Structure 1
Amino acid sequence: MTTTEHDRDGHLDPTLYRTPADAVAAPPESLAYVAGFDPAGERPDALFTVVTDPQSPAYGRVAARVELPDRGNELHHFGWNACSSALAHPGHHHAARRYLIVPGLRSSRLHVLDTVPDPAHPRLVKVVEAGELAARAGYSRPHTLHCGPDGVFLSCLGGADGADGPGGVALLDHETFDVLRAWETERGPQRLAYDVWWHLRQNIAVTSEWGSPSMIEDGLVPELLLDRRYGHAVHFWDLESGRHLQRVDLGDENQMVLELRPSHDPEATWGFVNTVVDVEDLSASVWLWTRENGEFTVRKVITLPAEPARAEDLPPALRPFGAVPPLITDIDLSVDDRWLYVSAWGTGDLLQYDVSDPLRPRRTAAVRLGGIAGRQTHPAEPDVPLSGGSQMVELSRDGRRVYVTNSLYAAWDEQFYPEGIDPWMVKLDADTSGGGLGVDGGFFPHGSDFGGLRVHQTRLEGGDASSDSYCYRR
């Protein structure tokens, strides 16, 4: 692995931003990277490069794909080796947003791809096998990663060799990507894992809960859901030491606590997290955490109710209920901390909220794409109902472009969309003054564009709203 031109010249990578305002003002992304996977595990998964520059003749098209050399990975979440937080923590000798670290949620392998010298055509440069993750950190089923103090933080759902836990966070070397160790030193009551994020300047880490490998890998287990066995708590930690500080239970009716979106303001100690389903009424919700007198509290600020539906429009698992649960599976907070996007995979809705007052979100726009019962269409093909629904959502640094894909996790896809999921990626234009969303009819890679692989998370060239933390306010 070699250094970038910026490293050799002694200059910082310009995509490492001192402040949120610097990130917003930076040039827009011209490329998006999208993880694709074969749900059957028979073909190689791939990382796709999609052109997002509207001046390019290839706008909205897949420019390249990097196939992995192995099978059965199920690419899910992935991230950069370095982000803006590298400006204020040790460990990077040549900090540059250059390598994409791509975990396989089912295989527990990590694939490292180099975006230099040609960002449109990344190259696979390293594979970290599941055995290394198990032997050195005691974990499996890697899920989410962020560049942070002491190394790259990698949340993992399972214990060594796929055991049911406890799940937690592994540390990777910033530059070699070797697995170093488990991050936690005092775990306390934490057992289930999902996401990890932090308030860097306050030395606070936050983790959330989904389920252990046996709870997720073959699909949603109804008995576990009704027994309220999936995750329903948020955990707060000492970031430097890995010591557990506080567990906040959201109520065991609120099952599956997933995406953590802390404020981008480095002086703030609040953020949003979502729950997938309330087992009492099938609603879904978004919660706000805040710190008061040294203690964290978490309160519900958004509720999406279930929608009545005809039994014939529902998959077998939902027919007894006669309703479509919203199933909030992703959220994203704009870099200026004003706009929150909520993705309801069950109904297909992508919702925009003004969160200028985080305690009182105000809905400003909604667009429905696909959905279990509605099967809404895209302007590019108005006669073809979309399969799947709005799922993973990524937001540009300036907040003006929203990218959405439609697959959750293979086994769960089959339960809620048994007719199958044809892959698609949608771009929406956002009004960042008063609110509003519109689908870009000229941007619609789908189906054979992705070689039939389903698509999950998107990362943007130069960074995006969900992968950066900032060190300075101004």
Structure 2
Amino acid sequence: MALWKPDPTFYPSPRDAVSAPPETLAYVVAFDRAAEKPDAIAVLDVDEESASYGSVVGWTDLPYTGDEVHHFGWNACSSALCPYAPHPHIERRYLVVPGLRSSRIYIVDVKDDPARPTIAKILEADELAKRAGYSRPHTVHCGPEGLYVSALGGANGPGGRSGSVGREGSDGPGGIALLDHTSFDVLGRWEVDRGPQYLAYDFWWHIAHDVVVTSEWGTPSMIEDGVDADLLLGRKYGHALHFWDLRKRRHVQRVDLGDEHQMVLELRPAHDPTRTYGFAGVVVNVEDLSASVWVWYREGKEFKARKVITIPAEPVSPRPTHPGLPPGDAGNLPPVIAPFGAVPPLVTDIDLSVDDRYLYVSCWGTGELKRYDVSDPFHPVEAGSVRIGGIVTRTPHPSAPDRPLAGGPQMVEVSRDGKRVYVTNSLYGAWDDQFYPDGVGAWMAKVDSGDDFTFDPRFFPNGDDFRGLRPHQTRLQGGDASSDSYCYP
């Protein structure tokens, strides 16, 4: 008699995940800004003992153009072992890949040949609009009761489906759609009562405490053409966190960070399921161009948020940068920030190691990846920094010291054991064009995170390796620091 056994990449606790074998493949979504070629899934060899280490060893084109694949996630993860909504019979087999501009969702099978993914199913925009009332799917998390997909727009907005049932307004609100684990059918809108929440972006949870946390960016019309200076200076982008009851699917509390703190993006809760704190990254403070990281925490029956990291803007008066590169000065600033005479850090991603020790903060504007020791989440201590790219500095990779790089560390992914950190350089097509108007290029790098914090000179896929496409998010085979949630301490 055959026995069902959980997928071996499901881990009951963070400790088990940290001690798991290292990944050997990485999946990276890459898109064509001109929408002339299909977007794709690139597969990279990340096995340090392999002869093809650091190379693209697999490639799957998507069937359409204009998707702008962006964030994506696994169909199943360690949350399948949680006792109140167990799904131990499913397996980490599919990548769920939304198109941020097309509102399509691709289900990509990596089981039979992990280096050559195949497309198993396509959900068209109409299905997401009709059944959930949303458009512009963004973040994917596997969790209790199904697959959760956040969306930036309502069904009547740009990219949505005109005339969809039950939607108010023309551009929002954004929210979360629920998909079936097995069939991938859209089950419907997750929220029963959204309260004051209108803007959407990321979401995560404290799964053992029935708490969902969501953040705010903007509706499709607010972001699709890049940063709108009037909206930014008018403090119209998102600046709050929202807390929800996971099982009742109801809004519980809104925590405003202050409207000067524009664009509350990535959320990273503690992996330890006994804790109810986490980190949120804020792109820019419109009063001084700084970026920040906040910790949310529960005090009594309420959630609160406290700023624990501030990263100032960098002045760009003439100064040397690197041998062979021109000095940085205000004349090199793109029009979007030229009036300010400084480079904002633009914190666009953060990631928390599975042991909850290190928080990685990407400063896409200045070209810096920072590492903080957050063993005490209320008092982070900087514990490492590397530079690559940047609006002005254009810092090269160690393997190509005479080659200036555009873009900066953007999406960050950390291995389960916390020893390897992968970064890609493209943020979002319209933003790339604004902040790097001479071209953002395409590259990916890896940082070794141990006693030292340094780039791996052997790992630098770039340029033609990505066939003219721009790499965005990375997922690691078997799971990574931002894909799984755990129910056992």
Instruction: Look up the equivalent residue of 1:308 and give its one-letter code.
Output: P
TM score, norm. by length of structure 2: 0.94
Kept in 1, the 8 Å contact 2:97–2:106? The answer is: yes
| CA displacement at 1:15 relative to structure 2 | 0.2
Aligned partner of residue 471 in structure 1, secondary structure: coil
Asked if 1:469 is matched to 2:485, the reply is yes
- Higher mean C-alpha deviation, range 30-39 or range 145-154: 145-154
Kept in 1, the 8 Å contact 2:367–2:387? The answer is: yes
Kept in 2, the 8 Å contact 1:308–1:324? The answer is: yes
Alpha-carbon distance in 1 for matches of 2:217, 2:452: 31
Alpha-carbon distance in 2 for matches of 1:436, 1:78: 30
- Higher mean C-alpha deviation, range 116-125 or range 365-374: 116-125
Structure 1 gaps of 5+ residues are 1-6
Asked if 1:204 is matched to 2:211, the reply is yes
Kept in 1, the 8 Å contact 2:7–2:88? The answer is: no
Asked if 1:111 is matched to 2:72, the reply is no
Aligned partner of residue 379 in structure 1, secondary structure: coil
- Higher mean C-alpha deviation, range 9-18 or range 391-400: 9-18
Per the alignment, do residues 93 and 176 of structure 1 end up closer, same or farther by CA in structure 2, a change over 3 Å counting?
farther
Per the alignment, do residues 8 and 110 of structure 1 end up closer, same or farther by CA in structure 2, a change over 3 Å counting?
farther
Aligned partner of residue 134 in structure 1, secondary structure: helix
The runs of at least 4 consecutive aligned structure 1 residues that moved more than 6 Å come to: none
User: What residue number does 2:354 align with?
Assistant: 335
User: What residue number does 2:344 align with?
Assistant: 325
User: Matches of residues 290-369 of structure 1 in structure 2 within 5 Å?
Assistant: 290-309=297-316, 310-369=329-388
User: What residue number does 2:464 align with?
Assistant: 448
| CA displacement at 1:161 relative to structure 2 | 4.1
Alpha-carbon distance in 2 for matches of 1:144, 1:414: 23
Aligned partner of residue 133 in structure 1, secondary structure: helix
User: Matches of residues 24-173 of structure 1 in structure 2 within 5 Å?
Assistant: 24-88=18-82, 89-90=84-85, 92=87, 94-162=89-157, 163-173=170-180
Alpha-carbon distance in 2 for matches of 1:299, 1:180: 36
Alpha-carbon distance in 1 for matches of 2:85, 2:351: 28
Alpha-carbon distance in 2 for matches of 1:82, 1:469: 11
Per the alignment, do residues 55 and 85 of structure 1 end up closer, same or farther by CA in structure 2, a change over 3 Å counting?
same
Kept in 2, the 8 Å contact 1:199–1:205? The answer is: yes
- Higher mean C-alpha deviation, range 412-421 or range 87-96: 87-96
| CA displacement at 1:436 relative to structure 2 | 3.2
User: What residue number does 1:178 align with?
Assistant: 185
Alpha-carbon distance in 2 for matches of 1:93, 1:332: 27
Instruction: Look up the equivalent residue of 2:464 and give its one-letter code.
Output: S
User: What residue number does 1:3 align with?
Assistant: none
User: Matches of residues 224-263 of structure 1 in structure 2 within 5 Å?
Assistant: 224-263=231-270
Aligned partner of residue 17 in structure 1, secondary structure: coil
Deviations 1:267-296 (A, max 9, x none): 100000010000000000000000010100
Residue 284 of structure 1: which of 283, 291, 295 is its match? 291
- Higher mean C-alpha deviation, range 26-35 or range 159-168: 159-168
Kept in 2, the 8 Å contact 1:364–1:436? The answer is: no
Residue 402 of structure 1: which of 409, 421, 429 is its match? 421
Alpha-carbon distance in 2 for matches of 1:308, 1:253: 20
Instruction: Look up the equivalent residue of 1:267 and give its one-letter code.
Output: T
Alpha-carbon distance in 2 for matches of 1:317, 1:108: 28
User: What residue number does 2:167 align with?
Assistant: none
Asked if 1:438 is matched to 2:433, the reply is no
Alpha-carbon distance in 1 for matches of 2:146, 2:111: 21
- The CA RMSD over aligned residues, in Å, is 1.1
Over the matched positions of the two proteins, sequence identity in percent amounts to: 64
Aligned partner of residue 85 in structure 1, secondary structure: helix
| CA displacement at 1:94 relative to structure 2 | 2.4
Deviations 1:94-150 (A, max 9, x none): 221110000000000000111111111111110000000000000000000101112
Aligned partner of residue 79 in structure 2, secondary structure: helix
User: What residue number does 1:387 align with?
Assistant: 406
Count how many residue pairs are aligned between Structure 1 and Structure 2: 464
User: What residue number does 1:414 align with?
Assistant: 433
Kept in 1, the 8 Å contact 2:80–2:88? The answer is: no
Kept in 1, the 8 Å contact 2:156–2:171? The answer is: no
Deviations 1:217-262 (A, max 9, x none): 0111000000000000000000011100000000000000000100
Per the alignment, do residues 93 and 360 of structure 1 end up closer, same or farther by CA in structure 2, a change over 3 Å counting?
closer
Alpha-carbon distance in 1 for matches of 2:346, 2:142: 29
Kept in 1, the 8 Å contact 2:343–2:391? The answer is: yes
TM score, norm. by length of structure 1: 0.97
Aligned partner of residue 158 in structure 1, secondary structure: strand
Residue 13 of structure 2: which of 14, 19, 32 is its match? 19
| CA displacement at 1:8 relative to structure 2 | 6.7
Alpha-carbon distance in 1 for matches of 2:119, 2:452: 39
Structure 2 gaps of 5+ residues are 158-169, 317-328
Alpha-carbon distance in 1 for matches of 2:294, 2:130: 36
Alpha-carbon distance in 1 for matches of 2:229, 2:86: 44
Alpha-carbon distance in 1 for matches of 2:63, 2:297: 44
Per the alignment, do residues 8 and 320 of structure 1 end up closer, same or farther by CA in structure 2, a change over 3 Å counting?
farther
User: What residue number does 1:187 align with?
Assistant: 194
Aligned partner of residue 445 in structure 2, secondary structure: strand
Per the alignment, do residues 8 and 108 of structure 1 end up closer, same or farther by CA in structure 2, a change over 3 Å counting?
farther
User: What residue number does 2:163 align with?
Assistant: none
| CA displacement at 1:91 relative to structure 2 | 6.5
Alpha-carbon distance in 1 for matches of 2:313, 2:102: 34
Alpha-carbon distance in 1 for matches of 2:43, 2:85: 31
Kept in 2, the 8 Å contact 1:91–1:151? The answer is: no
